[in-house]
Structure 1
């Protein structure tokens, strides 16, 4: 399931994944809070607290963008059980990747990051500021849509898995 997501990530050995977790998110804005809670629980289980604030902020922005810009109109979205957005967390010894999958084939578009008084449009600027790197790619095969990912370097010796 995660292989199509790894194809667009920076070079990392997929066999070296120490941990991975994912959760389906329904098409409602409350899902952003659910994503943050899932991230907190997962990072606590993995004993990776050092970058929680950065990771949580980026997860919030990626999920918000997916819910606001990548979903069809509510009338065509289907039931909440369809869960059109999915959050994946993957941890290597010294890196953590957050990936958000959504049904849109359109790439993310950064807003005007120079206008700091604007109420929206700064999400990808924040992702770029807090993650060590980020990107996106379209999915192929049986999965349709795209994945937007953010990579975080972890301090050496973080967590218990090697």
Structure 2
């Protein structure tokens, strides 16, 4: 990702002890093509990464959140976004781990804010994704990208149990 770590992590500091972007113990990211099969690719990438980090026990919750964030990006952010020939895929998944936190972040080309459905509108055909994200992670949010990149990052934070 072309943004600097402190810019991307700024919203993650709200209500939490300060995070030092240089203290990320592990990070991984993958570009995802603009097709719905990319959701499967994101789940597989998440499985491999969490297994490498010995966090396989968190896979179910994290995978559900990653699936919803990537699906939302593909459904709502990619269709109208212009794409130059040779430009990297429009959606990118980032996984970042600290000692007691895991962050899943999905970058997409839209500047529009994500819109969560109200809890009483759960019977709607679509729009439940952010409700599920909110239910399975400890906090989530979004912020616009800065600098030469356009679009936004939608992130979800999971608290991890300290080792030992």
What's the TM-score, normalizing by structure 2?
A: 0.87
CA displacement at 1:80 relative to structure 2 = 9.0
Partners of 2:55 and 2:115 lie apart in 1 by: 30
Aligned partner of 2:12 in structure 1 is 9
Summarize the alignment of residues 33-72 of structure 1 with structure 2, pairs less than 5 Å apart. Answer: 33-72=40-79
1:90 aligns with 2:96: yes
Q: CA distance change for structure 1 residues 81 and 40 in 2, over 3 Å: closer, same or farther? A: farther
What's the TM-score, normalizing by structure 1?
A: 0.88
Q: CA distance change for structure 1 residues 45 and 80 in 2, over 3 Å: closer, same or farther? A: farther
| Range with bigger deviation, 19-28 or 115-124 | 115-124
Gaps of 5+ in 2: none
Summarize the alignment of residues 91-106 of structure 1 with structure 2, pairs less than 5 Å apart. Answer: 91-106=97-112
Partners of 1:133 and 1:125 lie apart in 2 by: 12
Partners of 2:85 and 2:67 lie apart in 1 by: 22
Gaps of 5+ in 1: none
SS of the residue 2:11 aligns to: coil
Q: CA RMSD in A?
A: 1.9
CA displacement at 1:25 relative to structure 2 = 0.3
From 3, 20, 36, give the equivalent of 1:29: 36
